[in-house]
Chain A
């Protein structure tokens, strides 16, 4: 019964399929979309990165398409949720390249995901703009790989520059056990001698630790300490700041760009007074001086994002904005989606003003940011102020 039924329908199904195929093919011939691939940690422990990144990509692809697309072609976004897993990132990268046949990839919320995708994009020769932080992504330079966020080394350098200006050269480090914390601690230790800074104490605390008075008491008792730097992320730095005030330590305290959010001021309260930290311009969009080249970009992005999603803007979404815009600019200059040409154009990016800073790339620099991308902030009266 069943077999006769299906054979009777078969010609009709085939005809319908043919019609559908024709229908889909017709506009494609006229106007092939530009295929942009992405894999992001939209869920899981790194979702605070991937979630705003995905929202940003979707919002701006929509906006660009609404205003006529790029070179008269629409953008088509392929996004996969890697959950922050490097293994999944590898699988999705493969799929983006082989099945979705994307023209380029903008994605990779974490360094782990990015590094898992690197061998694949290098082999397939697909331009790849990563949204993750670590230096290893662009050092050594990989032909097809670029990145938009600042590195933790730059945060260290920004802090050390500020310490030099304040004539402080004996530093105590206190850092958490997380990946971000450890990586920044390593970078700071590495670049400290370049700035004539000596690290006289090096304490650490656990990921879920709730009391750092013991570590800070040790730092307090270390002779010669002139400043303290906390490389950390999440609630740890807020507790460090509170304990710091409790112990009555009056040395300058530096925090990392990892806590550059209003949340930190709210949690640490009065204890946060006088704390300095490097941060991207996006966080202080409202108080940037009028002459700052980034001001119009960050103000616009902040407004768009906050209006649409009713939640505070974060630097991570900004990285995705920069990644997409760098790619779009490069495609425009290349006059198409030829991968080699697009790659060359991304590398030639000069003076692109993004949320992360002013980008000047080159064959030896696939990030293109310098220390001016960071603002040194100080917390005064419970609000950010820019240190001159």
Chain B
């Protein structure tokens, strides 16, 4: 019985770490622009698929990972420059719709650039499961959890100790004030898309050896990351991490002890529950702040 518990916890934490990375991406862009970027899931997909094709082209794993993150970051920056940035004077709902359009476009593009098949990526350190208090854990799960911790630590250093990080935080707190003290708000928005895309891609590369990847892989991960971001309070970095882990654990325990058929339902019930409890809803809160 205890073995089962540990197994569910391990599965939950692995999935939860990924949700947390995706949720962080949502929060970073939300802070910079008040936009919920529904193309966040596609960054995850682009990361995974790029890594797969780089490995297939003969690149060593570390290079493939770096390359995949770079490709996604460039796509993120292009998305800001070519679509979101151009419509900056439009209201937030319009910008969100643009991101939905962008996600559909990127998915279509992925079908053309790559294919419609499902791909596997080799794990970073083998496939031999590790025994752990009666449960068995894949080495890749430890990589996922470990790298997530490192990324979170690096992000918190970035936001607290560096000038660009502080500029992003200042923009999130008060855009007008940030602009008055000389922060280039435009650049912050631009950079936030690159950063969010890089985070998503890291998640995509880490998870691909466990769950495979395909042009459609971003849809569900994007939605789960969104649920996690809402659960933790969108815009809050600790919230995104807590929300991600909590969602992962709830899903895994729910599938284990309640019913496996309703695993995905749990994530969406959470979105609904949070939106109901906060009758303002996310968009409502944004609008009142803008007035």
Contacts and interface: CB of A to CB of B under 8 A. Distances in A.
Interface of A: 177, 203-206, 208-215, 217-218, 221, 234-235, 238-239, 242, 245-248, 263, 266-267, 269-271
Contact of A213 (B7, B120, B214, B220): B7
Contacts of B212: 210, 235, 238-239, 267
B207 interface: yes
B11 A211 contact: yes
A248 B255 CA distance: 20
B120 A266 contact: yes
15 contacts: A177-B261, A205-B261, A206-B263, A209-B263, A210-B207, A211-B211, A214-B7, A214-B11, A215-B255, A215-B260, A218-B256, A221-B4, A246-B138, A267-B118, A269-B120
Given A239-B212, A247-B7, A211 B120 contact: no
B8 interface: yes
Contacts, number: 89
B219 A217 contact: no
B14 A217 contact: no
Contact of B11 (A206, A213, A266, A267): A213
B161 interface: no
A193 to B, nearest CB: 24
Interface of B: 1, 4, 7-8, 10-11, 14-15, 117-120, 127, 129, 136-138, 207, 210-212, 214, 216, 219-220, 252-253, 255-256, 260-261, 263-264
Given A221-B1, A239-B211, A263-B118, 17 more contacts: A204-B260, A209-B264, A210-B212, A210-B220, A211-B14, A211-B15, A214-B253, A217-B7, A217-B8, A234-B118, A235-B211, A238-B212, A246-B129, A246-B137, A246-B138, A247-B136, A248-B136
Given A217-B8, A270-B127, A210 B211 contact: yes
Contacts of A245: 127, 129
Nearest to B262: A206
Given A205-B263, A208-B264, A214 B127 contact: no
Given A211-B11, A217-B7, A263-B117, A235 B214 contact: yes
Contacts of A205: 255, 260-261, 263
A259 to B, nearest CB: 11
Nearest to A206: B264
A310 to B, nearest CB: 14
B118 A238 contact: yes
Contacts of B216: 208
A214 B252 contact: yes
Nearest to A220: B4
B107 to A, nearest CB: 13
Contact of B261 (A204, A210, A217): A204
Contacts of B137: 246
A273 B83 CA distance: 48
Contact of A214 (B1, B118, B260): B260
Contacts of B127: 245, 269-271
Given A238-B118, A246-B136, A269-B120, A214 B264 contact: no
B100 to A, nearest CB: 18
A215 B252 CA distance: 9
